[in-house]
Amino acid sequence: MISRQTAPAEVTLIDEALERYAHEHTTQLAEWMRELEREARSSLPYPQMLSGQVVGRLLELLVHAVGGRNVLEIGTYAGYSALAMAAGLHPEGRVITCEIEPEFAAFARRHIEQSPYSERIEIRVGPALDTIETLSGPFDFVFIDADKTGYPAYYEAVLPKLAPSGLIALDNTLRSGTVLDPGANEAARAIDELNATLARDARVVCTLLTVRDGITLVRRR
């Protein structure tokens, strides 16, 4: 997950009225998902790390589009995005989600166990790279939303295990706009450098979407 030292402030990169409009014109989430969000915002540090309804539905649609059977998430936090992706799974699909903070994993596990997807989501607690090493793939969909300086290593670890028609989604790739002038901000520099790497990586095709704090989608060539 994003460390407490590098968690960004909540940011709106487009007009707030348009953000509200997008939220209102996106299929609403179930009440139990809204309750998870309310509790996370009131009891967990850094509630800005929640994916939110628009990104949650986007993840669900992407997982559904690739026929997701084997989905990997790096950075569980409250379990919101894992649950969103579970709604788009193939009937035989499952999500493995990696979280290094026991506090966040416990919160997510409680809500996942109370959801319709309790048998389809597995939380692995510990360093994500160690978990990835134990997984053979191929992954139909990978969502990376963890410590920003770790993104390059996560990307390189999962790309060889990505299914031929699979997708990788990397969150926060605009980094609250700081990618335009990273300066001494280590996390912003890491994301800026990764964005440049992805754009010229001959192994993949990518697009950086200006959705919320930036989401980059990657597929293998």
Would you give the distance in Å from CA 186 to the centre of its chain?
Answer: 20
Q: 16-220, what's its fold?
A: Rossmann fold (3.40.50)
Instruction: Calculate ∠ Cα 89-217-171, nearest 5°.
Output: 85
pLDDT in tens, the chain (221 residues): 344 345 555 556 778 899 899 999 999 999 999 999 999 999 999 888 899 999 999 999 999 999 999 999 999 999 999 999 999 999 999 999 999 999 999 999 999 999 999 999 999 999 999 999 999 999 999 999 999 999 999 999 999 999 999 999 999 999 999 999 999 999 999 999 999 999 999 999 999 999 989 999 999 99
pTM summary value: 0.93
- Nearest partner of 174 among 209, 202, 207, 144, judged by Cα: 209
| Per-domain boundaries in the chain | 16-220
Side-chain half-sphere exposure of 159, counting CA atoms within 13 A? 19
Position 9: which residue type? A
